[in-house]
Structure 1
Amino acid sequence: MSDAPILYALADSVATIRLNRPDRLNAITPDLLGELRRAFQRAVSDGARAVLLTGEGRAFCSGAELGDITTGIPDLGKLLDAHYHPVIELIASLPIPIVSAINGPAAGAGASLALSGDIIVMARSAYLLLAFANIGLVPDAGATWLIAKAAGRAKVLEMALLGERMTAADARDAGLVTRVVDDEALMETAQALAAKLAAMPTLALGMIRKQVGVALDGTLTETLAVEAANQHIAGRSADFLEGVLAFTEKRKPEFKGR
């Protein structure tokens, strides 16, 4: 197994990105974040039409690597601005859909990475954890926004203030994840979903994921304007023409993501 912090593979238009520090429960370092950012960029440049994000070993990601504070505490705000925020912003702006496969604990900023996916599949034994308050910190890497938007004020405050584990079943019931499956079925399920997305009209899918982001923050009028602009583009796409032809010819469409 490679000792690179991120593993990347492309097959059948799906880019699989794995956090690869299993001996440290895939704890986050600036180096890992840099490699993760490059992996997402590579997926786009390689022509991938979907991304599958998961972790190696028994954890998805345990959050930030905690260093030796006796050597001095870095400016955590600057650390977030320099290393974490570019990755989260890149994920949000990606023109292709992302499937997260939460194979084990997803804690702290690891929960943010996991919940940044569009379709989120969680192993039954996995859990989410915002443990920041337990060590005198606050949620970061977008966790506050992601959870508040998906589950609401009461749930994000419960998770952030109490710092307790949330089971996969509770995460599904709260609307934080898409599906919960038995551990042994996780990767098969996630890979099938990623393959399905990659075979769909991914130009439209990329616009859908950004359109939803606008809807979460914007007014109805702003959302209507984005929908119209995106529909203008989608209506001129080769995929739309293929979809209509396939419907009229009663056959399965062959989308190209264009």
Structure 2
Amino acid sequence: MCTLEKRGNVFILTLTGHGDEHRLSRALIDEIHSAVHNIRSDPSATRSVLITTAEGKFFCNGLDIVAARTDPSLLEVMEAKFRSLVADLISLPMPTIAAVTGHASGAGLGLAFSHDYVLMRRDRGFLYVPELDVGLVVPAWYMPLIHLKISSSAARRDVVLASAKVKAEEAVKMGIVDSAHDGAAETVQAAVRLGEELVKRAWDGNVYGRMRETLLRALKHHRMLGVGIVQSCNITPSIITKQII
């Protein structure tokens, strides 16, 4: 479901399967989490960069809602695991880059936003917060990340309160992504070039990670690290199914 490659001091984590939507099932989240743990444990971690990308039409199409429909208890498990994964990514002692080579929807957009830089394919794919279109509520813990990644209030309104499907060129103009590229291979190549430039800066990864965590402290104040969304948002379990990304 995902592979991890190392090129010099650049780690490339790829969600695999050209026909796959890369929905964040419990198994896929665990596999990504394991890859991130392996990166963190590498002796060169504090002098490295992580790039996350995907094969096929989708970068990531959100949580595995189909599985949650057959077993509603899975939803809370997947959401807790995803929050933990986001926390793990924002505490990594290195710069991180999302090379978005297809659609990034719901939690898939959250996965991209958990990286320091977002590069996007120009010829295919959009960024999408679908909750309004399907009658759901964006979880409260996720909103600070949206605020931090989308600085324009007008852009946030369009993304969250109009469920706009934002393509690469528009996303660059809105300040949501850093750059747009002609295809999947070109997007990954651009991410590798950026990663290599960041490695050359020879920053102390531990300092970098702590500074990122400070920058994103508002997100962690929503108790991503080990406390459930029910307690942190003071909502009842009966409406948890309305809070899906």
**Same structural fold, with TM-score higher than 0.5 when normalized by the shorter chain:** yes
Contact 2:102/2:121, CA 8 A, preserved across alignment: yes
1:139 corresponding residue in structure 2: 138
What's the CA shift for 1:74? 2.9
2:237 corresponding residue in structure 1: none
What's the CA shift for 1:119? 1.9
CA deviations on 1:225-250 (whole Å, 9 max, x unpaired) are xxxxxxxxxxxxxxxxxxxxxxxxxx
Q: In the alignment, residue 131 of structure 1 is paired with which amino acid?
A: P
Q: Pairwise CA RMSD of aligned residues? A: 2.4
SS class of match (1:156): helix
Q: Distance in 1 between matches of 2:137 and 2:167?
A: 21
Q: In the alignment, residue 108 of structure 1 is paired with which amino acid?
A: G
What's the CA shift for 1:151? 2.0
1:53 corresponding residue in structure 2: 52
Greater RCO (Cα-Cα under 8 Å, separation 6 or more): 2
How is 1:208-247 mapped onto 2 (pairs within 5 angstroms)? 208=208, 210-215=210-215
Contact 1:27/1:65, CA 8 A, preserved across alignment: yes
Q: Distance in 1 between matches of 2:32 and 2:179?
A: 24
SS class of match (1:117): coil
2:72 corresponding residue in structure 1: 73
2:92 corresponding residue in structure 1: 94
Q: In the alignment, residue 53 of structure 2 is paired with which amino acid?
A: T
Contact 1:147/1:176, CA 8 A, preserved across alignment: no
- 1:155–1:56 distance in 2 versus 1, CA, 3 Å: same
CA deviations on 1:70-126 (whole Å, 9 max, x unpaired) are 635336345312x11110000010101111101011111000111211121111133
Which entry has the higher C-alpha Rg, 1 or 2? 1
2:233 corresponding residue in structure 1: none
Q: Distance in 2 between matches of 1:98 and 1:141?
A: 24
What's the CA shift for 1:139? 2.6
CA deviations on 1:167-207 (whole Å, 9 max, x unpaired) are 1122112221111122152121111111222232131x552
Q: Distance in 1 between matches of 2:102 and 2:146?
A: 18
How is 1:50-199 mapped onto 2 (pairs within 5 angstroms)? 50-67=49-66, 71-74=70-73, 76-81=75-80, 83-125=81-123, 126-140=125-139, 143-152=142-151, 153-183=153-183, 184-199=185-200
Q: In the alignment, residue 160 of structure 1 is paired with which amino acid?
A: V
Contact 1:109/1:143, CA 8 A, preserved across alignment: no
TM-score (norm 2): 0.77
Q: Distance in 1 between matches of 2:86 and 2:14?
A: 16
2:203 corresponding residue in structure 1: 202
Q: Distance in 2 between matches of 1:106 and 1:146?
A: 15
Unaligned runs of 5+ in 1: 219-258
TM-score (norm 1): 0.74
- 1:122–1:66 distance in 2 versus 1, CA, 3 Å: same
Find runs of 4+ consecutive structure 1 residues off by over 4 angstroms.
140-143, 215-218
Q: Distance in 1 between matches of 2:160 and 2:216?
A: 21
Identity of aligned residues (%): 24
Task: Select between 94-103 and 71-80 the one with higher mean Cα deviation.
Answer: 71-80
1:249 corresponding residue in structure 2: none
Contact 1:61/1:110, CA 8 A, preserved across alignment: yes
SS class of match (2:93): coil
SS class of match (1:175): coil
- 1:38–1:72 distance in 2 versus 1, CA, 3 Å: closer
Unaligned runs of 5+ in 2: 219-245
